[in-house]
Every structure is written in structure tokens, then in C-alpha cells.
Amino acid sequence: MSYCNRAVVRQRRAHCQQGNDVLEITKIAGALGAEIHGVDLSRPLSAPTAAEIRAALLEHLVVFFRAQNLTVAEFLAFARAMGEPTEYPFVKGLPGFPEVIEVAKLEQERVNFGGIWHTDTAYLERPPMGSMLLAREVPPAGGDTLFANQVLAYEALSPGLRRMLEGAVAVNSSAKADVTRTREDRMRTDAREDARDEYVAEHPVARTHPETGRRSLYVNAAHTVRFKDMTEAESAPLLNYLFQHQVRPEFTCRFQWQVGSLAFWDNRCTLHNPVNDYHGYRRVMHRITLAGDRPR
């Protein structure tokens, strides 16, 4: 079945034996995103269940779980069943769990961590294959996260523009002003001593997914500063067009958090954006990223 055909399927049930558990996988939007029910992530996953969750990730690009009140160790165990957890380059992990960082916006803060459309750490030579967030505290309303499907975004470009982007390389930096500002509160209290001032990496503008073979846009407003061998001023008109195009509403889904909600997204072909609409309230998450390969 083609990717486009799968995208219109309204609901899919996957049966995978884990004791008496049966997974139910239900799409939440036309473009991407599915909720998975029928699994307790605090328990060790059987190999078939882990494989079914990974297959759902590849099909839906982001999957969500509800009521998963995990300890930090249980959260890390689930991440290890999905891939190889890695440490975030700027912020220290939790005590005893360096791969797990706290993503928080406190009552007095006005700027949220990562509050811009982005893919995680595109400024690394090997960006993460996936990221996970587990909700610990949520505001009474607001604080949702938006996700955008970059396979659809690439496929919606005109044939001429796709030809123009073929072979193009983007320069990505951790020091781009907008995303640096969203880190400031966490860096004051939780900065790693070994963090560099700047990380820079060059990646293809259109990358090929190593598992599905699908092509997707791989630029983002938070980290991409210019095209290779071009100035920022020369790059800006086309990059700004791509930044607006890749988050068109028909490419997106929106997730409303509850305490114990867990999101797991494919960082190779999605963007995400935490909505900053809950001033005066706390929002605290735990995050894990999984090691990836060099984009091609």
C-alpha cells in the first residue's frame, strides 16, 4: 500500500500478543499521528510488541500513549526497547539518568523550551532518529504540541522545485537566535559543563529515510541558516518559503497533553512545535532522544 493510501486510513487495529494485551492503533489526523492503546509501558515489552510499535512509528511518524505513569527508569527502559538513548548536548540529564532531560516552563517564565517549529538537534552530524516526551505536569489548558509531516511537505512541492533542491545542502547551527532564546532559562540552571558555544552540521535539504526510503524536507526555522556555498541573504527567500510551506495545516496534527501522556516521533521526517499559550502555569516534561544516522 502506498504512503498516500495509508494516510487516508481512518483507523487501524494491530493485534500483537503481550500476555493478554492487544494493541489498538487509531489515527488522530489525516497527515500523521496515531494513539496506541492496550499496552502498559511500565512492563518489559515483548519483541513482537516492540516491533509493532516501531512499525506504527514508521507508518504514522508520531505515536502517542495515554496514562503511562512511568518512573524515570521505566521510561528509559521503554526508550531502550525502541533504540539507543543519547545525551542532549546543552542540558544536563536527571541525576543518575544522563539521557533523560527535564523540559520545563515554570510559572514565572514567558519563553518555552524549543518553542519554534524544529526537528531536534539538526546541528549535529548524526541527529536523533527519534525523540520521546513524557508529561509530568501540565497546565489546566494549553501547552499542546504540533507536529508536521515532512514527507507530505516534500511531495507537495512542484516537480521543478524538487529538481532544484536535489543535491542541495543546508547548513544548520545551534546558535540561531530564535532557538537559542528558548534555551536560556534551562541553561541558567542545568547547562552542561562540556557544552560547546556552537554546533554546526551540513545536511541534505531533501533526505531519504533510511528505513522507508521516503523523501522528506530536512530544513527547519530553528536551526537552518543558509544553503551551502550561499550567503544567508541569498538563501533567505527560498528558505523562508520552505519554512512556511512545511508547516501548512494539512501537513500537521495537534496533541493535547495529560499527565502520563507519552509522545514518540520520528525525528528524521517530522517537525514539532510546543505551543506557548499557558503563561502563569507549570508544564514539566521528561525527554529522551534516540541515536540516529547521518542524513543522506
- Residues recognised as catalytic: 118, 120, 272, 287
- Given a contact cutoff of 8 angstroms between Cβ atoms, the answer to whether 271 and 246 are in contact is yes
**Grid cell in block for residue 25:** 492503533
Distance CA(37)–CA(78), nearest Å, equals: 15
Distance CA(128)–CA(150), nearest Å, equals: 16
Beta strands 169-173 and 224-227, pairing class:
antiparallel
CA torsion, ordered 50, 84, 264, 210, to nearest 10 deg:
-90
What are phi and psi for residue 11, nearest 5 degrees? Answer: -150, 140
What are phi and psi for residue 184, nearest 5 degrees? Answer: -55, -45
- Given a contact cutoff of 8 angstroms between Cβ atoms, the answer to whether 90 and 187 are in contact is yes
- Given a contact cutoff of 8 angstroms between Cβ atoms, the answer to whether 239 and 218 are in contact is no
